Amino acid sequence: MYDIVIVGAGPAGSAFARFISGHYKVLLLEKRPMEEENFTKRKCCGGLLAPDAQKALSRLGMGVPLKVLAEPQLFSVRTLDFDNDLQGFYKRFYLNIDREKFDRWLYFSIGSHVEKKDNVSFLAFLELNDRIVVDYKENGEAKSVETRFLVGADGAGSRIRRSFSPRLPAADYLALQYTYKTPVNTPFYTSIFDKSITDFYSWIIPKNGCLLVGGALPVSPVVKETFEKLIVKLKEKGLIQGEVLHKEASFICRPRRRRSIQTGTHRLALIGEAAGFISPSSAEGISYALRSGELLAECMNRSLNRFHKEYRKKTIPLKINIIIKNIKSFFMYHLFFRKVILRSGLFSMKVSFLSSLDKNKRN
């Protein structure tokens, strides 16, 4: 029997696995074929490391290797407000990364004290009085293991989270992202606000000779059709061109209420987006994933029997940060306030390359 089984080897699961004590018997289950040289299951993510994520990596004593970085490195954000027909440029310090390579780097940084199984499907679990039975599928064969504790690092659609209560807020947004092979090479990240598409935001990110075009849209029966309207609009404005290479989608749980965040109960613990730790203003989740994974490992290393209370206490700063981001969201996504901010030029910067860039697009 294992002491701990972790479901999910994204940043949250990998950070937890990296720092959990070698005194415990730990198993990590991951659905992607991480051991393969080129795996095919892509993560729907823009692949930008925000300053908070960079800080979290620094806390963990981890420096991003060159092989993980993507081109170009970006130092500005172009904000396009289609609702108010305005735009602005702002200085930002993101690291442009290849998300698949980033996750693999984190995965292989986990020590040998953790047993890892990749390319497996987590099916279900049954919580008993003194243990948990975890069912998964490996090479088409159904298997099960027993564990004392189960850690959910399986994202917004977490099956472990859904087991707590049917009344818990579910993933209420769907992120869709298309990868375009394109000759257009923009030296900035573009964020797009358009109420006719979503009450959240959309993005265009240059990466290794491609453009990632995505958006976070409320879950609905017409979400795909709505996203396609955005694609048509961006093409008409000359912002994207070329052929689509890949299409990805994933759920997002945007935490706007207190009960959106759940850290666990009894023999279950949640980290990363499975717990609801994600920015409600930008959907940035890597920093929260790394930090919550580290905090849970720290608490479990002290005691497996009394970690819940300490983990809830230690994640209070993350919850406060999310409250602050919700306040920020009010101004970001309010048409009038966004109009005032963009027109004022507050914190914006002047650029001299835009006219030449538009000329190159027309040519």
- Partner residues linked to 336 by β-bridges: none
Give the CATH architecture of domain 1-47+99-170+256-332.
3-Layer(bba) Sandwich (3.50)
Averaged pLDDT, 4-17:
97
Between 310 and 37, the more confident residue is: 310
Residues near 2 by Cβ (< 8 Å), separated by ≥ 6? Answer: 25, 26, 27, 145, 146, 147, 148
Q: Where are the domains of the chain?
A: 1-47+99-170+256-332
What DSSP string describes 136-166? Answer: EEETTEEEEEEEEEEEE---TT-HHHHTT-T
Tokens representing 265 are 């109960």
Tokens representing 192 are 């797009």
Instruction: Please give the distance of CA 19 from its chain centroid, rounded to a whole number.
Output: 20
Residues near 306 by Cβ (< 8 Å), separated by ≥ 6? Answer: none
What pLDDT is stored for residue 354 in this prediction?
Answer: 62
Q: Is the pLDDT of residue 362 over 50?
A: no
Indicate the pLDDT class of residue 350, thresholds 50, 70 and 90.
confident
Indicate the pLDDT class of residue 221, thresholds 50, 70 and 90.
very high
Tokens representing 24 are 């415990």
Find the largest Cα–Cα distance for the chain.
69
What pLDDT is stored for residue 295 in this prediction?
Answer: 97
Q: What integer best gives the mean pLDDT of the chain?
A: 91
> Which DSSP category does 69 fall into?
B
Tokens representing 31 are 């659905």
Between 259 and 352, the more confident residue is: 259
Averaged pLDDT, 97-102:
94
What pLDDT is stored for residue 103 in this prediction?
Answer: 95
What pLDDT is stored for residue 162 in this prediction?
Answer: 84
Q: pTM score, two decimals?
A: 0.92
Dump pLDDT digits (tens) for 65-90: 999 999 999 899 999 999 999 999 99
Question: To 5 degrees, how large is the angle CA 147–CA 148–CA 153?
Answer: 75
Lowest mean pLDDT among 57-66, 165-174, 242-251: 165-174
Indicate the pLDDT class of residue 132, thresholds 50, 70 and 90.
very high
Indicate the pLDDT class of residue 184, thresholds 50, 70 and 90.
low
Residues near 45 by Cβ (< 8 Å), separated by ≥ 6? Answer: 99, 175, 177, 250
**Strand stretches in the chain, DSSP E:** 2-7, 26-29, 48-49, 76-81, 86-91, 95-96, 114-117, 120-127, 132-138, 141-152, 173-181, 189-193, 202-207, 210-218, 243-252, 264-265, 268-270
What pLDDT is stored for residue 166 in this prediction?
Answer: 60
Dump pLDDT digits (tens) for 286-297: 999 999 999 999
Q: Is the pLDDT of residue 358 over 60?
A: no
Instruction: Please give the distance of CA 43 from its chain centroid, rounded to a whole number.
Output: 9
Between 81 and 59, the more confident residue is: 81
Distance CA 33, CA 103 (A): 12
Distance CA 48, CA 299 (A): 29
Single out the residue of 300, 293, 283, 292 nearest to residue 316, CA to CA: 292
Dump pLDDT digits (tens) for 295-333: 999 999 999 988 999 999 999 999 999 999 999 999 999
Dump pLDDT digits (tens) for 140-156: 999 999 999 999 999 98
